[in-house]
Amino acid sequence: MSTLAHSRTGSPASAGEPSLALEGIGKAFGQVKALTRVDLTAYPGEIHFVVGDNGAGKSTTLKILSGMFRPDVGSVRIGGIEVHMRDAAEARQFGIAVVHQDLALVECLDIATNMALGDIPRRGRIMLDRARMERDAAKVLSGLKIRVGSVRTQIGLLSGGERQIVAIARAVRTNLPIILLDEPTAALGVRETAHVGEILDELRAQGKTIICISHDLEFVFRHADRITVMRLGNSVATLMRGSTNRDAVVGMITGTIGAAAESAQE
Amino acid sequence: MTATTRTGEQKGEGSPWLVEILLRPETTLILVIIVIGIVTAIKNPNFLNVGNLTDIARAAVIYFVMACGASLLMIGGGLDFSVGAVFTLGGITAAWLMGIAGIPWPIAIMGGLAAGALAGYANSQVIARLHVPPIIATLGTYFVFTGLCIQITGGQDIVPLPKDFQRLGQGTIMGVPFVVIYAVAIGLVFWFVLERTPFGVEVRAVGGNRKAAAANGLRVGRIETTLYVLGGFTAALAGIIYAARVGSGQVSAGGSGVTLAVVTAALIGGISLLGGLGSITGVAVGAILLSEIDNALIVAAVPPQYNTIIVGVILIAAVAIDHIRRERLYRIRR
């Protein structure tokens, strides 16, 4: 399996054209400068982690990538073309699926409906195709070996871990080429975390571009191809997993190690 | 078929249909309606006259038509306190166009409906652009629209209205008032929209978790605008039906009492002010219950102050019971 091969060497499966690139992104909210300069280049068939301390700007970066914020300066390129996304719907049109940290699930709706939000199957022009909605959801869930009971179960009845898995399954269902995840394992136990890791590996094997924010360095080092370290609103370095180690990354996150020497040259 | 919609062991589903029916908000309300009916009929058998039951249905129609739009809006997380004024505005506008401007009544009806839709649009814009919370925004527009109605009419009721128009509100077919047929048709349309279209799902999503809806690419602003426009539309429609029924455009037709009655009917019918939950059938039963209470207390010669007391108690009981029911269904914590 190519996944294993390249995860051993730490080199990308297809280091060709980047599928997504942020260049010199800056973003301020009034007086607060959330991002000063963020550069990030992600490739298809890779899991690209973004790590950093609280307040480093990880979530703001992800919200720019998902169309929820617009950058003040800098450019977002998808497939080499500069894009300007105004909302989440447009991000989807550009091929970006997002798993938000708060999961963005509607508690009073069932699993199948939540998984279809934003892309609800229709019968004819105006009718809701509930049967297809439920079939699609069940297919995606069983494909990911996820067991959450009936797809008609209300989200409000699920545990935190189950909700996280449903949110990820929803992103998978869109079958979009770029998947962003914000802290997908924060609320999970050991077994569930491993399951999420398997799903990410599977998506990588399918050639998706995966960008994932995480605090869990063990998880990061188990699944990463590339790691971008952020600090105080800047992307301080992007490292290949094979060419760095945990201590170096921690040093960069906290600022005790300068970044320039470690940074991988693109 | 079932195998494909399941991915694992059963959970939170599969309760027997009888339990499901008993858990529905409508079931409790229907029982209350029957109990009130029996008690009233014992005091005064005239309550069960066809003529009296028709009166109840006629009055319920007005609440129900308005509550269709208002409920969809509430399910979508909104609230419209201006409906009582838009009700008057719709009736007055249509009446003014046909009675004073001399425009043919079918076009005048469309004019009235347009006024209602425009009022709803105004509500949505005050909320979206001026960032005024819905309850305050629509309370403000309630006063504005009430003033407009007086401005249009100079405070005078508009009479007479064309006979053909009045027939729309007063006619019957095989004993069934036309207005009841309108209500059923409108109810079916709203039920279909809510339960059978992607838009209905999106409305529940916006009401259930607005942020999540937006994060999933739903055009939340557009959905909310549509809901306020629909709310204004049904309020005006109810106002026009009322004008046809009474044969005049009355300045005092609507008012705060109508607003409160409509919101009450929706709440009794199981619509959640927190958004996301509720059904059109529930609202229909809520509207019938309100109308039945109005009527029963008159027929049973109960002093009028008991009317409001009873409505208040039923409203609180309905919402409290609904909360307990929901806690069991969704295990809502917090």
| Overall domain count for chain A | 2
The answer to whether the CB atoms of B209 and A89 lie below 8 A apart is no
Kindly report which listed range (A141-155, B56-70, B238-252) carries the lowest average pLDDT score: A141-155
3 state SS of A39: strand
Average pLDDT over residues B43-68: 93
Confidence class for position B15, pLDDT limits 50, 70, 90: low
Average pLDDT over residues A178-186: 93
- Return the pLDDT at B7: 37
Spell out where chain B has E strands.
Answer: 172-173, 176-177
Write out the residue range of the structural domain in which residue A140 sits.
105-175
Interface check A120 vs B, CB under 8 A: yes
Whether residues A70 and A192 share a domain: the answer is: yes
Please indicate, yes or no, if residue B19 is contained in any of the structural domains. Answer: no
Please indicate, yes or no, if residue B22 is contained in any of the structural domains. Answer: no
pLDDT digits 0-9 by tens, A36-70: 999 999 999 999 999 999 889 999 999 999 988 99
Whether residues A116 and A168 share a domain: the answer is: yes
Selecting from B196, B201, B208 the residue whose C-beta is nearest the C-beta of A107 gives B208
- Please, are residues A88 and B217 in contact by the beta-carbon 8 Å criterion? yes
- Return the pLDDT at A259: 55
Task: For residue B244, list its beta bridge partners.
Answer: none
Whether residues A3 and A91 share a domain: the answer is: yes
Type of residue at A38:
V
Kindly report which listed range (A152-166, B107-121, B172-186) carries the lowest average pLDDT score: A152-166
Interface check A105 vs B, CB under 8 A: yes
3 state SS of B99: helix
| Overall domain count for chain B | 1
pLDDT digits 0-9 by tens, B71-89: 999 999 999 999 999 999 9
Phi/psi region, residue A69 (left: phi>0; alpha: psi -120 to 50; beta: rest), is beta
- Return the pLDDT at A4: 36
- Return the pLDDT at A265: 44
Please indicate, yes or no, if residue A244 is contained in any of the structural domains. Answer: yes
Confidence class for position B2, pLDDT limits 50, 70, 90: very low
* A264, pLDDT greater than 50: no
When the pLDDT of each residue in chain A is averaged and rounded to a whole number, the result is: 87
CA B139 to chain centre: 17
- Return the pLDDT at A266: 42
Query: Which of the residues A107, A108, A181 would you substitute to probe the B interface, choosing the one with the greatest number of B C-beta atoms within 10 Å?
Result: A108
Average pLDDT over residues A223-238: 93
Please indicate, yes or no, if residue A249 is contained in any of the structural domains. Answer: yes
Whether residues A221 and A117 share a domain: the answer is: no
* B17, pLDDT greater than 70: yes
Please indicate, yes or no, if residue B187 is contained in any of the structural domains. Answer: yes
Strand pairing of A81-83 and A73-78?
antiparallel
Please indicate, yes or no, if residue A155 is contained in any of the structural domains. Answer: yes
Please indicate, yes or no, if residue A31 is contained in any of the structural domains. Answer: yes
Average pLDDT over residues A88-114: 92
Confidence class for position A260, pLDDT limits 50, 70, 90: low
Interface check B189 vs A, CB under 8 A: no
Look up tokens 């992104």; give the residue.
A25
- Return the pLDDT at B249: 94
Interface check B196 vs A, CB under 8 A: yes
- Return the pLDDT at A9: 35
* B22, pLDDT greater than 80: no
The answer to whether the CB atoms of A147 and B198 lie below 8 A apart is no
Q: Please give the C-alpha separations between residue B17 and each of A73, A113, B14, B90, in angstroms, as whole numbers.
A: 58, 22, 8, 42
Q: Which of A155, A175, A195 is the last residue of a domain?
A: A175
As a 3-state breakdown, chain B gives helix, strand, coil percent values, each rounded to 5, of 75, 0, 20
Average pLDDT over residues A164-190: 92
Whether residues A264 and A188 share a domain: the answer is: yes
The DSSP 8-state label assigned to residue A157 in this structure reads: G
Q: Whole-angstrom Cα distance, residue A73 to residue A97?
A: 23
Selecting from B7, B198, B209 the residue whose C-beta is nearest the C-beta of A128 gives B198
- Return the pLDDT at A222: 94
When the pLDDT of each residue in chain B is averaged and rounded to a whole number, the result is: 89
* A13, pLDDT greater than 70: no
Whether residues A153 and A254 share a domain: the answer is: no
Whether residues A169 and A136 share a domain: the answer is: yes
The DSSP 8-state label assigned to residue A208 in this structure reads: -
- Return the pLDDT at A5: 35
Confidence class for position B6, pLDDT limits 50, 70, 90: very low
Whether residues A144 and A253 share a domain: the answer is: no
Interface check B329 vs A, CB under 8 A: yes
Confidence class for position A15, pLDDT limits 50, 70, 90: low
- Please, are residues A1 and A205 in contact by the beta-carbon 8 Å criterion? yes
| Cβ-Cβ contacts under 8 Å for A185 (sequence gap 6 or more) | A164, A192, A193, A196, A197, A214, A216, A219
Please indicate, yes or no, if residue B228 is contained in any of the structural domains. Answer: yes
Dig out the tokens for B84 from the structure. 């009582």
Please indicate, yes or no, if residue B48 is contained in any of the structural domains. Answer: no
Confidence class for position B330, pLDDT limits 50, 70, 90: low
Q: Whole-angstrom Cα distance, residue A25 to residue A57?
A: 11
Whether residues A132 and A85 share a domain: the answer is: no
Please indicate, yes or no, if residue B5 is contained in any of the structural domains. Answer: no
Nearest residue to A226 (alpha-carbon basis) of A216, A214, A239: A239
Please indicate, yes or no, if residue A100 is contained in any of the structural domains. Answer: no
- Return the pLDDT at B26: 82
* A228, pLDDT greater than 90: yes
- Return the pLDDT at A88: 86
Dig out the tokens for A245 from the structure. 């180690």
Q: Whole-angstrom Cα distance, residue A109 to residue A105?
A: 8
Kindly report which listed range (B65-74, B159-168, B273-282) carries the lowest average pLDDT score: B273-282
Kindly report which listed range (A121-130, B21-30, B323-332) carries the lowest average pLDDT score: B323-332
Selecting from A105, A107, A134 the residue whose C-beta is nearest the C-beta of B5 gives A134
- Please, are residues B266 and B153 in contact by the beta-carbon 8 Å criterion? no
The answer to whether the CB atoms of A147 and B214 lie below 8 A apart is no
Alpha-carbon Rg of chain B, whole angstroms?
21
- Please, are residues A209 and A44 in contact by the beta-carbon 8 Å criterion? yes
CATH number at residue B74: 1.10.3470
CA B51 to chain centre: 24
Count interface pairs A-B at CB distance under 8 A.
130
Q: A123-138 burial string, b = 16+ CB within 10 Å, else e?
A: eeeeebbbeebbbbbb
* Touching B: A residues 180-239, CB under 8 Å: none
What do you get for the CA distance between the two ends of chain B, in Å?
A: 37
Q: Whole-angstrom Cα distance, residue A259 to residue A239?
A: 10
Please indicate, yes or no, if residue A154 is contained in any of the structural domains. Answer: yes
Whether residues A230 and A213 share a domain: the answer is: yes
Average pLDDT over residues B176-205: 96
Angle of CA points B164, B167, B170, to nearest 5°:
160
Q: In what order do the strands lie in the sheet with A46-52?
A: A81-83, A73-78, A20-29, A32-42, A234-240, A226-231, A46-52, A209-213, A178-182, A96-99
Average pLDDT over residues B123-152: 96
Write out the residue range of the structural domain in which residue B145 sits.
27-36+53-333
Average pLDDT over residues B149-154: 92
Please indicate, yes or no, if residue A37 is contained in any of the structural domains. Answer: yes
Please indicate, yes or no, if residue B227 is contained in any of the structural domains. Answer: yes
Dig out the tokens for A58 from the structure. 């990880």
Angle of CA points A167, A170, A176, to nearest 5°:
125
* B264, pLDDT greater than 60: yes
- Return the pLDDT at B331: 54
Contacts of B10 in chain A (CB under 8 A): 149-150
Task: For residue B50, list its beta bridge partners.
Answer: none
The answer to whether the CB atoms of B217 and A106 lie below 8 A apart is no
